[in-house]
Amino acid sequence: MKKFKFKINGNQYNAEVLSIEDYSAEVEINGTKYIVEVDKDMQPVKTPKLVRSISVPSTDSHPSVAKTSNPSEPKGGGTIKSPLPGVILEIYVKVGDVVNIGQRLLVLEAMKMENNIEADKPGTVISIARSKGDSVMEGDLLIVIGE
Protein backbone atom coordinates (compact mmCIF):
# COMPACT_ATOMS: atom_id res chain seq x y z
CA MET A 1 0.00 0.00 0.00
CA LYS A 2 2.29 2.78 1.27
CA LYS A 3 6.03 2.82 1.94
CA PHE A 4 7.80 5.04 4.47
CA LYS A 5 11.39 5.63 5.56
CA PHE A 6 12.01 6.53 9.22
CA LYS A 7 15.16 7.51 11.05
CA ILE A 8 14.90 6.85 14.81
CA ASN A 9 17.93 7.53 17.07
CA GLY A 10 20.17 7.45 13.99
CA ASN A 11 18.85 4.07 12.78
CA GLN A 12 17.20 3.80 9.34
CA TYR A 13 13.86 1.91 9.13
CA ASN A 14 11.96 0.99 5.96
CA ALA A 15 8.27 0.55 6.72
CA GLU A 16 5.45 -0.59 4.46
CA VAL A 17 1.76 -0.67 5.38
CA LEU A 18 0.51 -3.95 3.88
CA SER A 19 -3.17 -3.86 4.86
CA ILE A 20 -5.63 -2.08 7.12
CA GLU A 21 -8.73 -3.70 8.62
CA ASP A 22 -10.93 -2.01 11.24
CA TYR A 23 -8.63 -1.15 14.20
CA SER A 24 -5.50 -3.04 13.10
CA ALA A 25 -2.89 -2.67 10.40
CA GLU A 26 -0.35 -5.13 9.07
CA VAL A 27 3.02 -3.36 8.79
CA GLU A 28 6.38 -4.63 7.56
CA ILE A 29 9.44 -2.94 9.07
CA ASN A 30 12.88 -3.85 7.68
CA GLY A 31 11.50 -7.18 6.43
CA THR A 32 9.67 -8.17 9.67
CA LYS A 33 5.85 -8.16 9.72
CA TYR A 34 3.93 -6.70 12.68
CA ILE A 35 0.24 -6.32 13.52
CA VAL A 36 -0.35 -2.82 14.89
CA GLU A 37 -3.53 -1.82 16.75
CA VAL A 38 -4.79 1.74 16.40
CA ASP A 39 -7.18 3.82 18.53
CA LYS A 40 -9.54 4.83 15.70
CA ASP A 41 -10.98 3.17 12.62
CA MET A 42 -8.61 3.61 9.64
CA GLN A 43 -9.63 3.39 6.02
CA PRO A 44 -7.31 2.45 3.16
CA VAL A 45 -6.35 5.41 0.98
CA LYS A 46 -8.27 5.41 -2.27
CA THR A 47 -6.93 7.27 -5.26
CA PRO A 48 -9.77 9.04 -7.07
CA LYS A 49 -10.28 8.14 -10.72
CA LEU A 50 -10.56 10.92 -13.23
CA VAL A 51 -13.53 10.25 -15.49
CA ARG A 52 -13.86 12.27 -18.66
CA SER A 53 -16.50 11.94 -21.29
CA ILE A 54 -15.33 11.14 -24.79
CA SER A 55 -15.43 14.23 -26.95
CA VAL A 56 -15.12 14.47 -30.70
CA PRO A 57 -14.07 17.77 -32.27
CA SER A 58 -16.79 19.32 -34.39
CA THR A 59 -14.37 19.46 -37.34
CA ASP A 60 -13.92 15.65 -37.44
CA SER A 61 -16.30 14.19 -39.97
CA HIS A 62 -16.39 12.35 -43.22
CA PRO A 63 -16.92 14.58 -46.28
CA SER A 64 -20.30 12.95 -46.89
CA VAL A 65 -21.58 13.95 -43.43
CA ALA A 66 -23.28 17.34 -43.26
CA LYS A 67 -22.16 19.26 -40.19
CA THR A 68 -22.91 22.97 -40.48
CA SER A 69 -26.22 23.32 -42.26
CA ASN A 70 -29.63 23.56 -40.70
CA PRO A 71 -31.56 20.30 -41.32
CA SER A 72 -34.77 22.26 -42.03
CA GLU A 73 -33.20 24.13 -44.96
CA PRO A 74 -33.92 22.92 -48.49
CA LYS A 75 -31.63 20.21 -49.82
CA GLY A 76 -28.47 21.70 -51.27
CA GLY A 77 -28.66 24.95 -49.33
CA GLY A 78 -26.70 25.89 -46.26
CA THR A 79 -24.10 28.01 -44.59
CA ILE A 80 -20.47 27.26 -43.86
CA LYS A 81 -19.37 28.65 -40.51
CA SER A 82 -15.93 28.88 -38.94
CA PRO A 83 -15.30 25.87 -36.69
CA LEU A 84 -12.70 27.81 -34.65
CA PRO A 85 -11.10 31.29 -34.45
CA GLY A 86 -8.41 31.99 -37.02
CA VAL A 87 -7.30 33.83 -40.16
CA ILE A 88 -8.40 33.00 -43.70
CA LEU A 89 -5.30 32.13 -45.74
CA GLU A 90 -6.85 31.18 -49.07
CA ILE A 91 -10.30 31.03 -50.69
CA TYR A 92 -10.68 28.46 -53.49
CA VAL A 93 -14.18 29.33 -54.73
CA LYS A 94 -15.99 32.42 -56.01
CA VAL A 95 -19.63 33.43 -56.19
CA GLY A 96 -21.45 31.32 -58.78
CA ASP A 97 -19.15 28.27 -58.53
CA VAL A 98 -20.85 24.86 -58.28
CA VAL A 99 -19.50 22.82 -55.36
CA ASN A 100 -19.86 19.21 -54.26
CA ILE A 101 -19.76 17.59 -50.82
CA GLY A 102 -16.16 17.42 -49.57
CA GLN A 103 -14.81 20.05 -51.97
CA ARG A 104 -12.26 22.37 -50.35
CA LEU A 105 -13.66 25.90 -50.06
CA LEU A 106 -10.99 27.73 -48.07
CA VAL A 107 -8.03 27.32 -45.72
CA LEU A 108 -8.26 28.69 -42.19
CA GLU A 109 -5.12 29.15 -40.09
CA ALA A 110 -5.78 28.54 -36.39
CA MET A 111 -3.11 28.09 -33.71
CA LYS A 112 -0.38 27.94 -36.41
CA MET A 113 -2.13 25.07 -38.18
CA GLU A 114 -3.84 25.12 -41.56
CA ASN A 115 -7.40 23.75 -41.57
CA ASN A 116 -9.24 22.90 -44.78
CA ILE A 117 -12.87 24.00 -44.70
CA GLU A 118 -14.91 21.79 -47.01
CA ALA A 119 -18.43 21.92 -48.44
CA ASP A 120 -20.95 19.83 -46.56
CA LYS A 121 -23.74 20.32 -49.12
CA PRO A 122 -23.78 20.30 -52.90
CA GLY A 123 -24.91 23.50 -54.60
CA THR A 124 -23.87 26.88 -55.90
CA VAL A 125 -21.88 29.47 -53.94
CA ILE A 126 -24.39 32.29 -53.28
CA SER A 127 -22.11 34.58 -51.28
CA ILE A 128 -18.70 34.74 -49.62
CA ALA A 129 -18.91 36.67 -46.36
CA ARG A 130 -15.16 37.02 -45.74
CA SER A 131 -12.04 37.61 -47.80
CA LYS A 132 -8.43 36.44 -47.74
CA GLY A 133 -6.57 37.74 -44.64
CA ASP A 134 -9.72 38.31 -42.54
CA SER A 135 -9.74 37.22 -38.90
CA VAL A 136 -12.78 35.18 -37.92
CA MET A 137 -14.22 33.91 -34.66
CA GLU A 138 -15.79 30.52 -34.04
CA GLY A 139 -19.27 30.40 -35.58
CA ASP A 140 -18.73 33.35 -37.95
CA LEU A 141 -20.43 32.98 -41.35
CA LEU A 142 -17.91 32.25 -44.12
CA ILE A 143 -19.80 31.04 -47.21
CA VAL A 144 -23.47 30.58 -48.19
CA ILE A 145 -24.29 27.67 -50.49
CA GLY A 146 -27.64 27.53 -52.31
CA GLU A 147 -29.27 25.14 -54.76
pTM, entire model: 0.48
76: pLDDT strictly greater than 50: no
Q: Give yes or no for residue 67 having a pLDDT over 60.
A: no
Average pLDDT over residues 102-116: 91
> Residue ranges of the domains in the chain?
2-37, 78-146
Q: What fold is seen in the domain 78-146?
A: OB fold (Dihydrolipoamide Acetyltransferase, E2P) (2.40.50)
Mean pLDDT within 51-65: 57
Distances, alpha carbon 117 to alpha carbons 4, 26, 70, 81, 96, in Å: 57, 62, 17, 9, 18
- Spatial separation of the C-alpha atoms in residues 67 and 51, rounded to whole Å: 28
pLDDT score, position 133: 92
Going 35 to 36 to 40 to 41, the CA torsion angle's sign is negative
Question: Mean pLDDT, to the nearest integer, of 68-82?
Answer: 64
> How far is residue 82's CA from residue 92's CA, in Å, rounded to a whole number?
15
What does pLDDT average to over the chain?
81
Which of 27-31, 49-53, 88-92, 105-109 is least confident?
49-53
Strand bridging mode 98-99 / 123-128: antiparallel
CA pair distance 130, 119, nearest whole angstrom: 16
Whether pLDDT at 59 is above 60: no
Question: What is the distance between the alpha carbons of residues 103 and 92, in angstroms, rounded to a whole number?
Answer: 9
